[in-house]
Amino acid sequence: MAKKEEGRTYDEAVNWLREHQFDVLEAPGTKTSRVFLKKYNCSAAIEKTPEGEVKVFAYPGYLIGGEIAKLVNKGYQQVLKTTKTEIAATADHLKALHQFTEELKEAVGKPSLYNESLGTVSDAYMYDRVEGRDKPDTSRPKRPWDEPVVAGKSGKRA
């Protein structure tokens, strides 16, 4: 039977991160306790919940131009994508991101899962290159075959 992992409190996690050479930057202009973390040119952000626990509100990503890049797996290539640019992810990028993510999990007291410990896990998978497939059904564009059939004089779609 698996044992339940005990998470760390927010203050314990921030202290652990500082002790392990993470750059811990207070988020400006926020009422809640939020910090941005940086190490290996990767970044993430955590905040304190009302119960005093840790919540990740900006998932780990590689820093490109001061922005946290999202790792996207396109099947043939992994890319780091920001709002402004998209670059091919190199082995060094992936190694740094994997190391950062594993240390962050240890800091907040989350378990390191077997399939994630084998390598870097992408934020999105776009293998088939179908536009909008990764979005929820409600935000996908309507396709012609999804429209209801309205019978008229000719029996064609309205």
Which has the minimum average pLDDT: 8-22, 90-104, 138-152?
Answer: 138-152
Interval 80-105: pLDDT, tens: 999 999 999 999 998 899 888 888 88
User: Would residue 98 count as lying in a domain?
Assistant: yes
Burial of residue 12, with CB atoms counted within 10 A of its CB: 0-12 exposed, 13-18 middle, 19 or more buried: middle
Number of structural domains in the chain: 1
DSSP for 36-73, written as a single string: EEEETTEEEEEEE-TTSBEEEEEEEEEEETTEEEEEEE
Domain range for 20: 10-130
Asked if residue 144 belongs to a domain, the reply is no
Please check whether residue 124 lies inside any domain of the structure: yes
What pLDDT is stored for residue 156 in this prediction? Answer: 55
How much is the pTM? 0.67
Q: Does any domain span residue 137?
A: no
In a domain, 58, yes or no: yes
Q: Is residue 157 one of the residues assigned to a domain? A: no
- Kindly state the tokens that stand for 86: 């998209």
Residue at 1 is within a domain: no
Query: Is residue 62 a contact partner of residue 73, using CB atoms and an 8 Å limit?
Result: no
On whether residue 66 sits in a domain, the answer given is yes
pLDDT in tens, 34-70: 888 899 999 998 888 888 888 888 888 899 988 889 8
Select the more confidently predicted residue: 29 or 71: 71
